[in-house]
Structure 1
């Protein structure tokens, strides 16, 4: 059984109607759309948040209204929809149910709120991850552990940062944990030759209350220099296509990721304007091993 299935038992389920003075509702109120990592989600996200503050059913209705306007499909081509967590059949795997039915079991909380958001931001990547997860489950079933492939796919889904890069030296600095080069000496390169976009929905949930040690797993995506002249929508589409193609055609390993402390990204946190911000070995650690790399 997956970690998600273990955590989604009835004791964690939200009531059908959630009063606005509950802890869950207050967490929705903590979202600050001005944060650079949340701003791309703001237009749709604010509508969803307002619905979530009304009730669980209103929240699900808001998600499904957007699906109706902007259709999405899951890993096996099923039309996407969002259902209450309690509608997941007993014994069914979360990823397999999504692939087979198109229905995403969704709790009334921030974790699943951001999961739904990413289905709209990067639909091809989400579908590719779902397809790969379901295929692994078909072969190996659900057991006490996921196995290396599912672990890597889950890591991507929950904690990935897409590091778009048009300069091989910057990608090399990231892989080498060369934080001074990447984040201090080459600060001017950010937005012109490289950028970070958060994909992992668990990472987005953590960053509602950001802290210095919060770290994502960077997945390097080679892009052309023209990428940085494109609009935000065009950039997302480029990444969605490129990454989904790789996920559909290549093996994936947790060794293909490189840690990236989120608040160290230039322009994302006021304190990192001071170079001494990066002089914290507990956060900006040196590399401990060589890392295998996927084909780009």
Structure 2
């Protein structure tokens, strides 16, 4: 799959929307999902009913629980009762309304990749709805929970200097000065399903919201499944107890991650101020 002609710009509205057959499982951010995702992709290309059936077969063989300990399952979007909130319905019934599109495809995948995080988010979202109801304004906490769900990048880091540089928007330190730390003392794993959808057609300005997770150096000696389990457990526990707002995140232009995009092998890639910005904190 080719990238946009000008990767520093988002694809224009006239461009055809990517579909299931546009998924490139060799991308670094998608390869952790490939084993399950390729089966789901095949079913999605067959039909909507086949797709839902495949998701539910996985939910039966690998049970997951939603925010209020209801067994996870997937239903067609039109089965969501009129007036019901999406998050509240999932918490109360375990049923995730799922459309036949990439956005919900990746949302479903995260219920299997990081089940504890998804359940913790769902529980917090449902609690916010119970307390405040459904209105035109969701409130700061629900906005932050939605931001996590849609756009978060889990950044496991055993290098405090790199984490500090990221928080300070010091992009040359993050991606050049600490370049050898990536994969050895730092790694990025995309959680946000909207971000994964955007990255089907990558563009340079595509930016996630990094949630930094401090880990021990031994984390990077563990197998992939064990690393994922560590992040799932630690992040979910934080989401259960910590106050959350947009200030808990720091921007991360994802194509800047070393090894994720061929063009970032040239250090000049990071000189683009439209993407690698100073940030409000540094300007202040």
Normalization by structure 2: what TM-score? 0.93
Q: Which runs of 5+ in 2 are unaligned?
A: 1-14
Q: Does 1:289 align with 2:281?
A: yes
Q: Is the 8 A contact 1:165 1:195 kept in 2?
A: yes
What is the deviation of 1:287?
2.4
Judged with a 3 Å threshold, the aligned counterparts in structure 2 of structure 1 residues 262 and 67 are, in CA distance, closer, same or farther, namely: same
Q: Which runs of 5+ in 1 are unaligned?
A: 1-22, 291-296
* In structure 1, C-alpha distance between the alignment counterparts of 2:25 and 2:87, rounded to whole Å: 29
Q: Does 1:131 align with 2:123?
A: yes
Q: Does 1:30 align with 2:18?
A: no
Judged with a 3 Å threshold, the aligned counterparts in structure 2 of structure 1 residues 92 and 24 are, in CA distance, closer, same or farther, namely: farther
Q: Does 1:171 align with 2:163?
A: yes
- Residue of structure 1 aligned with 2:135, choices 137, 140, 143: 143
Q: Is the 8 A contact 1:160 1:199 kept in 2?
A: yes
* In structure 2, C-alpha distance between the alignment counterparts of 1:215 and 1:233, rounded to whole Å: 25
* In structure 2, C-alpha distance between the alignment counterparts of 1:116 and 1:190, rounded to whole Å: 28
* In structure 2, C-alpha distance between the alignment counterparts of 1:268 and 1:169, rounded to whole Å: 21
Q: Equivalent residue for 1:255?
A: 247
* In structure 2, C-alpha distance between the alignment counterparts of 1:25 and 1:81, rounded to whole Å: 27
Q: Equivalent residue for 2:147?
A: 155
Structure 1's consecutive aligned runs of 4 or more residues displaced over 2 angstroms after TM superposition are: 23-26
What does 1:72-151 correspond to in 2, within 5 Å?
Answer: 72-151=64-143
What is the deviation of 1:186?
1.2
With a CA cutoff of 8 Å and minimum separation of 6, indicate the structure with the bigger relative contact order: 2
Aligned pairs, number: 268
* In structure 2, C-alpha distance between the alignment counterparts of 1:136 and 1:217, rounded to whole Å: 22
Q: Is the 8 A contact 2:67 2:119 kept in 1?
A: yes
* In structure 1, C-alpha distance between the alignment counterparts of 2:213 and 2:178, rounded to whole Å: 18
Q: Is the 8 A contact 2:120 2:240 kept in 1?
A: yes
SS at match of 1:252: coil
SS at match of 1:289: helix
Q: Does 1:213 align with 2:212?
A: no
* In structure 1, C-alpha distance between the alignment counterparts of 2:260 and 2:40, rounded to whole Å: 24
What is the deviation of 1:220?
0.3
Q: Is the 8 A contact 1:25 1:52 kept in 2?
A: no
What is the deviation of 1:158?
0.1
SS at match of 1:238: helix
* In structure 1, C-alpha distance between the alignment counterparts of 2:44 and 2:172, rounded to whole Å: 42
SS at match of 1:284: coil
Q: Is the 8 A contact 1:216 1:262 kept in 2?
A: yes
What is the deviation of 1:26?
6.3
Q: Equivalent residue for 1:277?
A: 269
SS at match of 1:146: coil
Q: Is the 8 A contact 1:25 1:53 kept in 2?
A: no
Judged with a 3 Å threshold, the aligned counterparts in structure 2 of structure 1 residues 280 and 25 are, in CA distance, closer, same or farther, namely: closer
Q: Give me the CA root mean square deviation.
A: 1.3
SS at match of 2:208: strand
